[in-house]
Amino acid sequence: MSKSCTERKLINFSKKHYTYINQIFGDISVREIIKEIYPNDKFNFVVLKANGQDNFENHSLHHVLEYVKSGRHLCSVQQKHQDLKKNLNDTLCQSYSLMNYFGIKISRVRRKKQEDMVRMYKTLLNNDDFVKKLNDDILTNNKNKKIWVDYSNPTQYLDMNVNNLVKNINKVLDNWNDYGYNYFIGDGDCK
């Protein structure tokens, strides 16, 4: 068991992760910025509605890549990276799709896989062009003041200040590296 892992911390981490990682990096507008900053003529980002198969809740969203030439999908479930029967809370399809998009080899070692995800997101946040475009295209647009919910307090929306947002994302990434990976492995508890 990780010294810093507690059930309470994992519950709080899950809410923050959903808020700052799943929600933001699964947002199609953010993905368009990624595609602009990191062009890839091999793939398009696609979001599918889940239909209850593969243990996804009906009407939830599933992120895949679409091959530009063939229209076929590259899916984390089909690749056997994501299995909700084995890993109850593995809602990381947006992360798997980004790793595939960037050509990052996805490890079969569950913790290493997540450490690589953390590194990928930190690399994105360290790219000044990405952060500037995120700020200019989304965060400073008044129409977007209420696009992202704070799932720690679902009656609140995220502070759209770029420095605060990046700081909060980095805090989630640090917690993910320290103990949060436990949430996505097995039953999602401190082991």
pLDDT bin (cut points 50, 70, 90) of residue 143 is very high
2 is a domain residue = no
As given in the structure block, the two tokens for residue 133 are 């475009």
Domain assignment of residue 14, yes or no: yes
Integer angstrom CA distances of residue 43 from 125, 144, 168 = 22, 27, 29
Quote the domain boundaries for residue 54: 7-184
Within a domain: residue 170? yes
User: Which tens digits make up the pLDDT trace of 59-101?
Assistant: 577 899 999 999 999 999 889 999 888 998 999 999 999 999 9
- 189 is a domain residue: no
Report how many domains make up the chain: 1
Specify the pTM.
Answer: 0.92
CA 21 to chain centre: 4
Q: Which amino acid is at 121?
A: Y
Q: Is residue 51's pLDDT more than 90?
A: no
